[in-house]
Amino acid sequence: MILALELSGPSSTVALGSPSGVLERDFSGERGRALIAEVDALVQEAGMDKVAIRGILVGRGPGSYTGLRIACAAARTLGHALGIPVGGVGSFPAAALDAPVGSQVHIVLDAYRGEVYHAVYARSEGGVEERQGPRLLARPDLEGALPPEASILGDPELTPEGAHHFADLVAPRATGLIQLALEQGVEWDGQGVEDLGDPTPLYLRAAAFRPAAK
């Protein structure tokens, strides 16, 4: 059985997968305050015990700095407590699973400070193939990265007028992490989880901190 945590975007979700199917709980709006409680509720819903979990997946972003820190820390803590492997999975390719099969999708997410996160994926029946990994661009440079026929997943306010958007929100889900992991050879018994990415946030730049007032 595999547990997945995804808190990088507007949808906070946890999922539990086994050969018999995948269960998911959405606790958007609660973020980390309800994460462990949601994991416990999900395990109970599945009629299982935490010791049946054989591997943990965590969405490592890019995305919300707070959500990523909470999810990655919780995943590592649970993995250590249960003595099971933990692997990081890209949140952008998980979001790209929402793209139409046969399309190439440009993901655009506000990175603030006049910058955007940008990545490109090809969506096929077999899953998602990375064409351009997540990167940080100045907003004026984004237009040159988007071909006229680009299919975009992201906020229309960030892209040139008239660009084609098939969805306005970059909203990866925990079920997507499981799907991607299985496509990369992960087994339900946890084999292959350690071969995924590090379970650490994918920060493309350092967080901005304001010094404490004296």
pTM of the model: 0.92
Which residues lie across from 105 on neighbouring strands?
121, 151
Domains defined for the chain, CATH in brackets = 2-91+172-195 (3.30.420.40), 99-167 (3.30.420.200)
67-111 pLDDT, tens digit per residue, is 999 999 999 999 999 999 999 999 999 999 999 999 999 999 999
Rounded distance between C-alpha atoms, residue 152 and residue 146, angstroms: 9
Q: Which sign, positive or negative, has the C-alpha torsion 91, 97, 2, 4?
A: positive
Rounded distance between C-alpha atoms, residue 32 and residue 6, angstroms: 10
Residue 206 pLDDT grade (very low, low, confident, very high; cuts 50, 70, 90): low
